[in-house]
Amino acid sequence: GLVGVLDAEAGQALEAVLSPLAKPRPSGEHGVDERDPAQRYGDALAELADHSLRAGSLPSEGGEKPRMVVTIGLRELCADGLPGATGLLNQDVPVTAEQARRLACDAGVIPAVLGSKGEVLDLGREQRLVSTAQRRALALRDGGCVFPGCDRPEGWCHAHHVQHWSEGGPTDLHNLALLCGEHHRLIHHSEWNIHMGSGGKPYCTPPPWMRPHIPQQRAGPMTRAPARATLDG
């Protein structure tokens, strides 16, 4: 893990940044945030790192921009629920197949899909990445995270493939929805689901035992600052 020492000024600055990101947010089995404060602050720091990584404004290291690579076999990537199916993040951190599918949604992560003999079949750059025009259209349509009750603006969201990229889902507007990091993980790793409505807008559905107590969609557009489509070009 990472260990660091901050002086008082830097500590106060970090607290000021993390505090709004660590507020309780709707999620979990009962529609409430079940994380304790330590978990919420840890997730807030991870969200800040994710946002910085995808923004593309970090200084280069060794001549390259910071990035992550997830490596997984094609069989493991496509076999939903295959026992023990794993990949590697940055060559040394194990991830499940479902985590790999979620990471493949993100322009800040390069998926390297391997064949049965270990050969690289696809680095997954072009076909899965959202263009600047698509990002602008998503910002106008969704406004931000489409999960019920979430207030994360579009600049803090991932472009999620409703039909997973690994399952042949196209990188088209009708198959994309904005989700913040927390709710992106929830959609991939719980019984929450996301669908496209007949009007071309995405909506979320909770697990069966939570219905009909949880709203499935935001009630109209939320008030946000003007969208700035500068990510995932």
Mean pLDDT of the chain: 75
pLDDT at residue 221, as a whole number: 42
Q: What's this model's pTM, rounded to 2 decimal places?
A: 0.59
Sign of CA dihedral 8, 53, 84, 207: positive
Q: CA angle 199-26-165, nearest 5°?
A: 50
pLDDT at residue 109, as a whole number: 61
Asked if residue 151 has pLDDT above 80, the reply is yes
pLDDT at residue 112, as a whole number: 66
Torsion from C-alpha of 140, 41, 3, 102, nearest 10 degrees: -50
For 197-225, the pLDDT digits (tens) are 988 899 999 888 776 555 555 533 444 44
pLDDT at residue 165, as a whole number: 74
Contact predicate 126/159, CB 8 Å: no
Residue with the larger pLDDT of the pair 74 and 224: 74
Q: Which domains does the chain have, with CATH numbers?
A: 67-125 (no CATH), 132-210 (1.10.30)
Region 120-141: mean pLDDT is: 71
3-class secondary-structure state, position 167: helix
pLDDT bracket for residue 89 (50, 70, 90): confident
Asked if residue 159 has pLDDT above 80, the reply is yes
- Could you give the CA distance from residue 139 to residue 37 in angstroms, rounded to a whole number? 30
Asked if residue 41 has pLDDT above 80, the reply is yes
Whole-angstrom CA distances from 94 to 18, 99, 157 are: 27, 10, 24
Residue 91: other Cβ atoms inside 10 A = 9
pLDDT at residue 63, as a whole number: 55
Asked if residue 164 has pLDDT above 90, the reply is no
pLDDT bracket for residue 231 (50, 70, 90): very low
Cis status of the peptide bond prior to 226, with omega within 30 of 0? no
Helices (H), 104-203: 132-142, 181-189
- Could you give the CA distance from residue 1 to residue 135 in angstroms, rounded to a whole number? 34
Q: What letter would DSSP give residue 225?
A: P
pLDDT at residue 183, as a whole number: 92
- Could you give the CA distance from residue 180 to residue 125 in angstroms, rounded to a whole number? 21
Asked if residue 150 has pLDDT above 50, the reply is yes
Asked if residue 62 has pLDDT above 80, the reply is no
Location of structure tokens 């660091």: 4
Lowest mean pLDDT of 123-127, 211-215, 224-228, name the range. 224-228
